[in-house]
A and B are shown apart, each in its own frame.
Chain A
């Protein structure tokens, strides 16, 4: 009775416990009873307290998030091959958690009535079930679930210790090793060695005044700057940066990154006027393993396959959510998340390169464009990318291109697996129009600049935010030079680019009401990207390019630079910088809330405060648009 589909299912199931314990006849029979369910992202498989279904589920593709109803905290993510929703069926109780499609998912639903007899007669299956229920993980045999990293945490852990570790007060060392200002360096070094610490606190009248770390000893003593007989006072770093003792993990990381220091001194009230209670080192943070950027970064660099990277990216999303909950400045957040996204992309490229059978004929550069190029990609949005490869003789060109196309395809596929959707307009390095030699790129960008039709302007606006993710930076630099050369000889281009920036529809109507989409699938939603973010991003681009600056891609940073370059418009530019951050944060919040790109916003879901905030940014959008209109004299252009 078996058919092609049931064979296919059996072939998949046989790789995962408990099905790997079944003999093929049993599995064949079971597979025939399976129902395949496609779940759109964010749809519910079963709700909390719902009566158990007649079947349990195995994830075939995609991911299912298990959570308590009403809380955004995800307790477990079930990935390919994971089993869920089985225990309630065997225990005859209602579902304890809500299961929701985290992304588009294909499930195999297996009827319990066909599975149960097999489970009863096969001891290995029985054992799997007992163990999996005891440990509460989707798959107790897999080692990757053992660690408590990256969103695959088991339920127990999540509840007790690391429910977003960032939000927890950090543990710090309380037995302080200290000395006073007069102590000799040699004594200090001996003391530090004896206690095996990397830093020592310098106190005066029981109040902290300075700190000496291993680094100080290395930089100031070992280099001969100070003799070994010098006193603590000459060597210590002072004034010290102090924080209150109830610092959270995320805050302490921020503090270290901000001041570029590796040790924080914690005092009773957070100032230097109260006694020190502890020292927190980078190492302490590392020990408090969890979803934090440093650990994630290390995990990314160690990942050797795309699937592993995908799991880590779940952790990045968790981190982002935590940061936003804590209201950490968005400039900082986007830097960290972009850094992590960038590292993931790099790793994808490394993995893809290692999988290539042949060596690449010449050097190349991988460019990220659009939001990733601008360092504004907080959510998983579409991928836009391109390859520049070194010039080769004419007759080699197509052969070389084919090499890189193959690489491009493998990389874009990897990026897709780790969560970046394919670009719907196919602006990816797997497309031959976006995989070109340096010479070709020079020609084509020159063509865009000299023939600025609306398509060319659109392409320029996507392409000109490029950033080097991987490979030879020199190639990209040379291209940038060529672009500015052409642009400066043809200033008319900026006028067109400016007019392109003004093309986006305005965010608010005559009565300062939101303008919502009139038709299409997003009817009555507010298009945050098109109506608010794009105008402000486009304006930044044309302004900064007209100053011939290529090195800054981030919109907020572009405005900050502009404020520096044009002091007379400083106020407006700073307002724009603020607005761009506010809008991005808004979009990210919305996106996390609905697990999408956050582009379309249902206005009736916003509260009054949010609406006012949003409207305030519109004023800035209008002001910057009129500045552009006047500066580039767009009116003269026949539109």
Chain B
């Protein structure tokens, strides 16, 4: 059957439709009235095809407030396994954390993310990882708008041709600049938290009031 036909689309599960339904609502343009979902994923590697997500961590940011209870953290059961990256994340395949299947994780994430703007450090990597997982499970791509904290951070710096500036800023650089404790580096939710604090401070520095200013 032709893959783009309407019929095929209707075979998506209910949770996808309820996710998609959220996008009919219009987002507020006031930063203080917008909810941001700050996310980070831990993966077995950098390949979109070979590697898999180990964990998704996310939290919600509304009007400068993070509600701890309302954060999101799922660990995913692994088929594919890459022993090199476990050293970074410390997530062993059979650790004690309760884990769910990839589909369950995606389902929970879509329910959590709704139509909110997704914020992350090098966010496109996380988005692409999630999209790859969605595709494996026969689902379309994420529909959310995204913001990258690296790009936003460079906007806070002055442009000068003589003084050399770094081209790339890692999450560690940001944590250092904003003196955020790097205690939970390389756990998904811990990184998401660092990203969230950095994001808050960048937004204050930029003094933007409107959402559209951030996307510029």
Contacts and interface: CB of A to CB of B under 8 A. Distances in A.
Contacts of A425: 157-158, 160, 163
A3 B65 contact: no
Contact of B163 (A104, A413, A422, A433): A433
A427 B164 CA distance: 10
Nearest to A12: B181
A550 B157 CA distance: 31
For chain A, give the interface size range. 35 or more
A6 interface: yes
Contact of A38 (B164, B197, B207): B197
Interface centre among A5, A416, A424 (most CB of B within 10 A): A5
Interface in A1-34: 3-9, 11, 31-34
Interface centre among B66, B176, B184 (most CB of A within 10 A): B66
A398 B188 CA distance: 37
B69 A4 contact: no
B127 interface: no
B165 interface: yes
Given A5-B68, A38-B65, A455 B161 contact: yes
Given A417-B179, A427-B163, A521-B207, A33 B68 contact: yes
A619 interface: no
Contact of A11 (B68, B73, B183): B183
A9 B68 contact: yes
A5 B188 CA distance: 10
A40 interface: yes
A36 B66 contact: yes
Interface in B176-203: 176-177, 179-181, 183-184, 187-190, 193, 197, 200-201
Interface in A534-584: none
Interface centre among A8, A31, A41 (most CB of B within 10 A): A8
Interface centre among B69, B157, B179, B189 (most CB of A within 10 A): B69
A472 interface: no
Given A36-B68, A61-B179, A106 B190 contact: no
B189 A4 contact: yes
B197 A106 contact: yes
Contacts of B189: 3-5
A541 to B, nearest CB: 19
Contact of A8 (B164, B193, B204): B193
Contacts of A6: 68
B68 A104 contact: no
A34 B68 CA distance: 6
A37 B201 CA distance: 12
A524 interface: no
A455 B183 CA distance: 40
Nearest to B165: A426
Contacts of A41: 204
Interface string A76-115: 0000000000000000000000000000101000000000
A38 B203 CA distance: 11
Nearest to A434: B163
Contacts of B200: 38
Contacts of A33: 68-69
A611 B157 CA distance: 33
A346 interface: no
A3 B73 contact: yes
B1 interface: no
A185 B65 CA distance: 74
B172 to A, nearest CB: 13
A624 to B, nearest CB: 27
Interface string B34-68: 00000000000000000000000101000011111
A92 B143 CA distance: 47
A261 interface: no
A35 B157 contact: no
A3 B68 contact: yes
Nearest to B161: A455
Contacts of A61: 179-180
Interface in B63-88: 64-69, 71, 73
A38 B64 contact: yes
B28 interface: no
Contacts of A106: 197
A593 interface: no
Nearest to A61: B179
Contacts of B180: 61
Given A5-B71, A5-B189, A11-B183, A39 B163 contact: no
A504 interface: no
A3 B189 CA distance: 8
A37 B180 CA distance: 15
18 contacts: A3-B71, A4-B57, A4-B190, A5-B59, A5-B71, A8-B183, A9-B68, A32-B69, A33-B68, A35-B66, A36-B65, A36-B66, A36-B67, A38-B197, A413-B176, A422-B177, A424-B156, A459-B162
Given A36-B68, A40-B64, 20 more contacts: A3-B73, A3-B189, A4-B57, A4-B73, A4-B190, A5-B59, A5-B190, A32-B68, A36-B67, A38-B64, A38-B66, A38-B201, A106-B197, A417-B179, A424-B158, A426-B157, A433-B162, A455-B160, A455-B161, A455-B162
Interface of A: 3-9, 11, 31-41, 61, 104, 106, 413, 416-417, 422, 424-427, 431-434, 455-456, 459, 521
Which 5 pairs between the two chains have the least Cβ-Cβ distance?
Answer: A4-B189, A36-B66, A425-B158, A38-B64, A38-B200
Interface of B: 57, 59, 64-69, 71, 73, 156-158, 160-165, 176-177, 179-181, 183-184, 187-190, 193, 197, 200-201, 204, 207
